[in-house]
Amino acid sequence: MADKLGFGVDIGGSGVKGAPVDLHRGKLADDRYRVPTPVPATPDAVAEVVREVLDHFGWRDPFGCTFPAVVQHGVVRTAANVDPSWIGTDGQKLLENVTGRPALLVNDADAAGVAEVRFGAAREHDGVVLVSTLGTGIGSALVTGGHLVPNTELGHLELDGHDAESRAADSARDRDELSWSDWAARLTRYYQHVESLFWPDLIVVGGGVSKHSDKWLHLVETRTEMVPAQLLNNAGIVGTAVLAAEHNHKKHHKH
């Protein structure tokens, strides 16, 4: 049974959350454990918290971890909404050193995208699927035929002279006190731009606000079918656990 369990950690702006994951069903195998993100959220401080989350469950095996920025082969490359000291940090190696377990560090939206394609709103879709997360920023995951193109960063497309996420993320709705319909108008501009560049077959919209998609999703006008994400809060944890298990399996078979 043990080989069917993985472990995922989700590093967010306010909390670091983790849980063991049933890799076949794409569900958490236990309640998730959350520790507030340290302030300042420097690499060393955050890595300590990740260790605390693993220790809480006594998890000793390989694990996956999400990060809300570009993560290229374990190295954090951007810091739109995170502490700038992460830029250039080999976050994956740091996590391995601090926790003493093999780790895989991936972009948060990429992890969520993998979870939605494997287990959620785009289950077994073999076309071009764009998973878009609306939160503090806008995250994106582009998956085709089950394969992920990592770090697409479509939240940072330029829109009307602005970084798109600064206009259309859920945090912009809050900041500018937008009604659902005013926000949906911004999302329409954004997603029409995205679909004219990538021509996805399906757009899955995630992030906390996708829980209330009945209030605004039908107001967003796109030619592409748009559906709410299904794994909600747990998509990152599930996706990164799955990716970590596969990564470890591959590594194992190389040697």
Based on the shown chain and the rule CB under 6 A, indicate whether residue 139 belongs to the binding site for ligand BGC. Answer: yes
Nearer to ligand BGC, 59 or 148 (CB): 148
Based on the shown chain and the rule CB under 6 A, indicate whether residue 78 belongs to the binding site for ligand BGC. Answer: yes
Exposed/middle/buried for residue 83 (C-beta within 10 Å: 0-12, 13-18, 19+) = buried
Q: Which of 80, 185, 219, 232 binds ligand BGC (CB under 6 A)?
A: 80
Pick the stretch among 88-96, 129-137, 180-188, 225-233 that binds ligand BGC (CB under 6 A).
129-137
Q: Which of 165, 234, 241, 244 binds ligand BGC (CB under 6 A)?
A: 165
Residue with the two structure tokens 């394969």: 147
Q: Which of 11, 69, 121, 243 binds ligand BGC (CB under 6 A)?
A: 69
Q: Is the CB of residue 2 less than 8 Å from the CB of residue 9?
A: no
Based on the shown chain and the rule CB under 6 A, indicate whether residue 83 belongs to the binding site for ligand BGC. Answer: no
Rounding to the nearest 10 degrees, give the CA dihedral for residues 120, 146, 198, 74. 100
Q: State residue 228 phi and psi, 5-degree precision.
A: -75, 150
Tabulate helix, strand, coil % of the chain (nearest 5).
45, 25, 30
SS3 150: coil
Give buried/exposed letters for 133-153 (b at 16+ CB in 10 A, else e).
Answer: bbbbbbbbbbbbeeebebbbb
Q: Which of 99, 132, 133, 171 binds ligand BGC (CB under 6 A)?
A: 133
Pick the stretch among 54-62, 102-110, 172-180, 244-252 that binds ligand BGC (CB under 6 A).
102-110
Nearer to ligand BGC, 137 or 228 (CB): 137
Q: Which of 155, 200, 206, 239 binds ligand BGC (CB under 6 A)?
A: 155
For residues 168 and 89, give the distance between their C-alpha atoms in angstroms, rounded to a whole number: 29
Return residues touching ligand BGC (CB under 6 A).
68-70, 78, 80-81, 107-109, 133, 135, 137, 139, 153, 155, 165
